[in-house]
Amino acid sequence: MSEHGHGHAAVYEGGYTRLQINRMGLWFFIISEAFMFLALHFYRFLALGTYKPEGVNVILGLFLTAILLASSVFASQAEKAIARGDQKGLERNLLITMGLGLFFVLMVVYEWSVAFAHFPPSTPFGSIFFLTTGTHVLHLLSGIVILALVYLAARRGAYSAESHWGVTAGVLYWHFVDVVWLSVFLSLYVL
Amino acid sequence: MLPVFRGLLWGLIGFAIGALLTALVRIALGMEPWVFGPLFFVGYLFGLAGWLLGVGVWDTWMREFLGMEPRPYKEEGWRRYFGFNTDHKVIGIQYGVTFIGMFLLAGLLAMAMRIELMRPGRDIFDFATYNRVMSMHGFLMVLVAVTAVPGMFGNYFVPLMIGADDMAFPRMNALSYWIWPPAAILLLLSPFFGGWDSGWTAYPPLAITNEPGQMFYNLAFFTGGLSSVVGSVNFLTTIITMRAPGMTWGRVPIFVWSIFMTSIMSLTATQFVGVAMIMTVLDRVAQTAFFDPARGGYPLIYQHVFWFYSHPAVYVMIMPSWGIMLEILAHFARKPLFAYRWAVAGMAGVTALSFTVWAHHMFTSGMPETLHVPFMATTEAISVPTGLIFLAALGTLWRGKLRFKTPMLFALGMLFNFLIGGLTGVFNSDLPADMHLHDTFWVVSHFHYTILGGGIFGLIAGIYYWFPKMTGRMYNEALGRLHFWLMFIFFNLTFFPMAWLGLHGMNRRIGDYPPDLAGMNMFVSMAAFILGASFLIFVYNLVVSWIRGPVAEANPWGARTLEWATPSPPPEHNFPRVPEVLSGPYDYGVPGAVHAKV
Ligand SMILES: [Cu+2]
């Protein structure tokens, strides 16, 4: 996933390596995506304050949170595995992470089917609830696609202990999607 | 096959897949399947993905992800502009030609509006059509003002000025440009679906009940925002990590600083407008209740979300032009840029404050009155950092050996116009005054002074200044000056009277006005036509000079920044080797000072 450019990056002021440059770009992208969720929460609190209708299932929300936190642990295990050159560990942990992600999506879909009866999208709370969780699920699905591409590349032997930017990037993005879930959980379930 | 055609084909296929999937889902949910709104919305998102894959994402990224050899776009001659070219100089020119074209088109619409407004009552349009023309003019111009300078000059000159061989992420740079054509196609198609009559701000509830053409605006804005985000990630990373050795933060050219600050705003605030657009579309196609009062939604919140982006966006429109203005003033006054550090601090201060002022657009909206005074105070506070930039400009001119070439004339014109734009703005930010000024032609006058008189004057100053570098040819100086004087005089004759018209009760966004304002409106229209005609000289000068103007030297202005230390136009990798920066770029008149060894 490295940018090739014409490449003599390390000669510039500050001596940034290509890896550091890639990492910085990803971080800026993550900051930007965080503002997307900030905008959703901005609407939620400006329009509705902390209003919460009947039927918001905090227990289910906690369960969803637990799934994602667990997936983040496996994601970082995947990165640690390749950092010590453990190909099998990388592949196994990626698979578990993606599996937990898919399980999370299924649980959200289940939750939507229940929520639909209590606060359908044709009500203001329902609108922001479905849009925020939907946006998060889209991010999570894109995270699964990215990890799947990383997994395929890992199977081809594209990564080594020294060079595995693709893994780092996919895992960092995955952590971001998990952390954002915490803000979604707080804004829609808890407050 | 040229990648643009493959992109179109894959885009159409994507559109069909998205629309069909939606229809199937709707059938499964027991809903009427063939409804335009939802099918078009999802179809467009799939079509956008298809277009991007076809035009270059597949060849450059996806093949690599899938373990195949990537196929970068390598063409020469005119063909290099019609594909996923990663050279920042090609991308700069792609942006430039696209957005100057859009500017001229939007200018023609302004001419049509002035024909309608020459006399009171109805002339060439019915009033609904007038509002559609006004909306299209406004939105196209907003896109030009936000995008043209960072897109054209940011891409072309940021790497050159900091001594880099390209941007940090060349492929993402190409992506940021190729996101735009779908937005352009949407806007061109919109009139065939009724257009939209809610202005460039598109407030609900009107924006959820009017013609389907509205949605084309929403999706175009969303798409453009995507490009802004991608572009600003690239600018920020490039400026931080790819400065030539010795190019410390205190030696970075002021234009690069302006792009840096602009990118901070684009990176973050843009997401808000993206969210506002999607919410509006969902209210239209999925019967959600974000802004629709009929379903208990909150139309006023749209204005908060929208202006949280769109106030920083007005600084996205002006700040890069401040950068161009300060560059040109220093190089053409042959003096060090006065108070360089304070100018940078001014830009940083404007950037920070720009996030705290949005509700000054809403004083008459019925928002809670407790918000009135705080937003008035922050808005008036923003004139302090803006003042620093003015002082830097004035101090640079002070006792300088001014050379009145065309770029300098436009930079000085911009300084004058923006002063008036700033002063008229103080009245808008003032609560008691704004109660009367809101939505009158006073406001039209104010923001045309800042955005056309400031931002676009800066854009044109930059075009004349960098034309020899970008094309390798010299423009015609006499025609350039003629263009300046016509544009400067008739710009002021067009927009200064508009302030008077506003004070006398002429409302904006209505194709009519009280009959006693007829004389002044006729005058304004005549001035506007000459202002419009001045662009014929501009375009003639650019086209003819590009084809057969005299060959330009590497450094026709004797300027010291790095882009002038390489041939015109620069070779593929910009510099033979990475330059070594020894001192600041503005040490005019300092004996023995050398900016960089190339
Ligand atoms: Cu504003």
pLDDT digits (tens, 9 = 90+) for B367-383: 999 999 999 999 999 99
The CA dihedral of B243, B248, B252, B257, to the nearest 10 degrees, is 90
How would residue A69 be classed by pLDDT, with cut points 50, 70 and 90?
very high
Yes or no: say if B156 and B92 are a contact pair by the CB < 8 Å rule: yes
Residues of chain A contacting residue B290, judged by C-beta atoms under 8 Å apart = 43, 47, 124, 127-128, 131
B67 and A156 in contact by Cβ < 8 A? yes
Contact B150, B231 (CB under 8 A): yes
Q: Write down the domain spans for chain A.
A: 23-190
In chain B, the residue whose alpha carbon lies closest to the alpha carbon of A1 is B65
Q: Contact B164/A156, CB-based, under 8 Å?
A: no
pLDDT value at position B65?
83
B283 lies in the same domain as B387 = yes
Confidence (pLDDT) at A5: 41
- Interface probe with A: pick from B89, B233, B580, most Cβ of A within 10 Å: B233
Q: Does the CB of A113 have a partner CB in chain B at under 8 Å? A: no
C-beta neighbour count of B384 within 10 angstroms: 12
In a domain, B29, yes or no: yes
CA A39, CA B273: separation in Å to the nearest integer? 9
What's the CATH superfamily of A23-190?
Cytochrome c oxidase, subunit III, four-helix bundle (1.20.120.80)
Q: Could you give the 3-state DSSP secondary structure of residue B413?
A: helix
Q: Is residue B543 one of the residues assigned to a domain?
A: yes
Spell out the SS3 assignment of B570-598: CCCCCCCCCCEECCCCCCCCCCCCCCEEC
Mean pLDDT computed over every residue of chain B: 94
Number of H helices, E strands in chain A: 5, 0
Q: Are residues B75 and B105 in the same domain?
A: no
Give B578's contacts in chain A (Cβ within 8 Å): 8, 11-12
Do the domain assignments include residue B523? yes
Q: Do both B108 and B184 map to the same domain?
A: yes
Contact B8, B33 (CB under 8 A): no
- B105 shares its domain with B20: no
Cis status, amide bond into B569, omega within 30 of 0: yes
* Phi, psi angle pair for B440, to nearest 5°: -110, 175
Nearest CB partner across the interface for B171, out of A3, A8, A127: A3
Q: Which chain B residues in 55-84 lie under 8 Å from chain A, judged by CB atoms?
A: 64-67
Q: Is pLDDT at A6 greater than 80 in this prediction?
A: no
* Contact at CB, B244 and A13, closer than 8 angstroms: yes
Among B66, B244, B296, select the one facing A123 at the smallest CB separation. B296
Residue B526 lies in a domain: yes
Q: Which residues of A touch B270 (CB under 8 A)?
A: 32, 35
Given pLDDT bands bounded at 50, 70 and 90, which one contains residue B598?
confident
Q: What are phi and psi of A119, to 5 degrees?
A: -135, 85
The domain boundary residue, chosen from B85, B120, B152: B85
Nearest by CB: A123 against B274, B275, B289:
B289
Distance of alpha carbon B554 from alpha carbon B558, whole angstroms? 9
Please name which of B232, B179, B124, B106 lies closest in space to residue A32, comparing C-alpha atoms: B232
Look at the alpha carbons of B394, B396, B401, B404 in this order and tell me if their dihedral is positive or negative. negative
Q: What is the pLDDT of residue A2?
A: 38
Check B301 against A149: CB less than 8 A apart: no
Cα–Cα distance, B167 to B67 (Å, whole number): 25
Please state, in angstroms and rounded to a whole number, the distance separating the CA atoms of residues B510 and B117. 9
Q: How far is the CA of A143 from the centre of ligand 1 (A)?
A: 36
Q: Are A130 and A53 in contact (CB under 8 A)?
A: no
Q: A11 and B278 in contact by Cβ < 8 A?
A: no
- Assess contact for B90 and B152: CB atoms under 8 A: no
B283, B138: one domain: yes
pLDDT tens sequence across B532-588: 999 999 999 999 999 999 999 999 999 999 999 999 999 989 999 999 999 999 998
Structure tokens at A55: 């039927």
Residue B357 covered by a domain: no
Residue B336 forms part of a structural domain: no
Cα separation of B163 and B86, whole Å?
A: 17
**8 Å CB contact between B156 and B89:** yes
Question: Are B593 and B536 members of one domain?
Answer: yes
Predicted confidence at residue A4, as pLDDT, reads 41
Which tokens belong to B538?
């501009």
pLDDT at A55 over 90: no
* Mutation target vs B (from A1, A6, A13; most B CBs, 10 A cutoff): A13
H or E element, residue A100: helix A87-118
Determine the structural domain holding residue B36 and report its residue range.
Answer: 1-85
Domain boundary among B85, B114, B141: B85
Task: Check CB contact of B245 with chain A, cutoff 8 Å.
Answer: yes
pLDDT (0 to 100) of residue B589 = 84
Q: Which residues contact B99 (CB under 8 A, 6 or more apart)?
A: B143, B144, B147, B148, B151, B152
Q: What is the pLDDT of residue B406?
A: 97
**Does the beta carbon of A130 lie under 8 angstroms from any beta carbon of chain B?**
yes
Alpha helices in B475-517 (DSSP H): 477-503
Q: Do strands B596-597 and B580-581 pair parallel, antiparallel, or not at all (unpaired)?
A: antiparallel
User: Is residue B117 situated within a structural domain?
Assistant: yes
Q: Is the pLDDT of residue A1 over 50?
A: no
Strand partners, B581: B596
For residues B49 and B113, membership in a common domain is answered with no
Q: Which helix (H) or strand (E) holds B41?
A: helix B36-52
Q: Is A17 on the interface with B (CB under 8 A)?
A: no
Q: Which residues of A touch B268 (CB under 8 A)?
A: 31-32, 35
The pLDDT, as a whole number, for residue B2 is: 80
Q: What is the mean pLDDT of residues B429-450?
A: 94
Buried b / exposed e along B187-197 (16+ C-beta atoms within 10 A) = beebbebebbb
Structure tokens at A16: 């940034």
Dist. CA B489 → ligand 1 center (Å): 27
Q: Tokens for A115?
A: 């929520």
Å between B70 CA and nearest CA of chain A: 11
* Cβ within 8 Å of A, B 123-182: 164-172
Count of C-beta atoms within a 10 Å radius of residue B262 = 31
CA of B356 from ligand 1 middle (Å) equals 10
Q: Which of A14, A32, A39 sits opposite B233 (nearest CB)?
A: A32
Residue of A2, A127, A128 to mutate, testing the B interface (most B Cβ within 10 Å of its Cβ):
A127
Between the CA of B27 and the centroid of ligand 1 the distance, in Å, is: 45
Residue A7 has pLDDT above 80, yes or no: no
Shared-domain flag, residues B23 and B159? no
Beta-bridge partners for B580: B597
In chain A, residues with a C-beta closer than 8 Å to the C-beta of B297 are 47, 124, 127
CA distance A94 to A16: 29
Between helices B340-353 and B383-397, what is the axis angle to 10°? 160
Q: To the nearest whole percent, how much of chain B has pLDDT over 70?
A: 100
Residue B285 and residue A122 in contact, taking contact as beta carbons nearer than 8 Å: no
Instruction: Tell me the CA end-to-end span of chain A in Å, nearest whole number.
Output: 40
Whether residues B9 and B118 share a domain: the answer is no
Q: Residues whose CB is under 5 A from ligand 1 (ion)?
A: B 311
Report d(CA B281, CA B298) in Å as an integer: 15
Q: Per the CB < 8 Å rule, is B271 touching A36?
A: yes
pLDDT at B69 over 90: no
Rg (CA), chain B: 24
The answer, yes or no, to whether residue B93 has pLDDT greater than 80, is yes
The amino acid present at A38, given as its one-letter code, is L
Distant-in-sequence, close-in-space partners of B260: CB < 8 Å, separation ≥ 6: B235, B236, B239, B252
Ligand 1 midpoint to CA A48 (Å): 25
Residues B81, B229, single domain; the answer is no
pLDDT of residue B593: 85
Spatial contact of A29 and B233, defined as CB atoms under 8 Å apart: yes
- Asked whether the beta carbons of A191 and A183 are under 8 A apart, the reply is no
Q: Are B564 and B554 in contact (CB under 8 A)?
A: yes
The 10s digit of each residue's pLDDT in B353-410 is: 999 999 999 999 999 999 999 999 999 999 999 999 999 999 999 999 899 999 999 9
Total tally of structural domains belonging to chain B: 2
Is the pLDDT score of B62 beyond 90? no
For residue A146, give the chain B residue with the closest CA.
B65
Rounded to 5 degrees, φ, ψ at A13 are -50, 130
Q: How confident is the model at residue A191 (pLDDT cuts 50, 70, 90)?
A: confident
Final residue belonging to a domain, choices B60, B85, B110 = B85
B38 and B152 share one domain? no
* Residues of chain B above pLDDT 90, percent: 90
Distance B187 CA to ligand 1 centre (A): 25
A32: chain B residues, CB-CB within 8 Å = 229, 232-233, 267-268, 270-271
Q: Is-contact A182 A86, C-beta < 8 A?
A: no
Quote the strand ranges of B437-485, DSSP E: none
Tokens, residue B57:
């994402």
What is the Cβ-side half-sphere exposure of residue B571, based on CA atoms within 13 angstroms? Answer: 7
- Side-chain half-sphere CA neighbours of B513 within 13 A: 24
Contact predicate B212/B36, CB 8 Å:
yes
> pLDDT for B284-343, tens place per residue?
999 999 999 999 999 999 999 999 999 999 999 999 999 999 999 999 999 999 999 999
Q: Average pLDDT for residues B101-123, to the nearest whole number?
A: 95
pLDDT band at B74 (very low <50, low <70, confident <90, very high): confident
Instruction: Tell me which residue in A12, A39, A153 faces B242 most closely, judged by beta carbons.
Output: A12
Rg (CA), chain A: 19
Q: Which of B301, B308, B355 to mutate to test the interface with A (most CBs of A within 10 A)?
A: B301
- B371 touches A at CB < 8 Å: no
The 3-state secondary structure of B380-425, one letter per residue: HHCHHHHHHHHHHHHHHHCCCCCCCCHHHHHHHHHHHHHHHHHHHH
Same domain as B592, residue B570? yes
- Residue B16 tokens, joined: 């069909």
Q: Would residue B248 count as lying in a domain?
A: yes
Neighbours of A109 (CB within 10 A): 10
Confidence class of residue A10 from pLDDT cuts 50, 70 and 90?
low
pLDDT at A8: 46
Report how many Cβ contacts below 8 Å link chain A to chain B.
152
Read off the pLDDT of each residue in B206-212 and give the average, rounded to a whole number.
94
B507 touches A: beta carbon within 8 Å: no
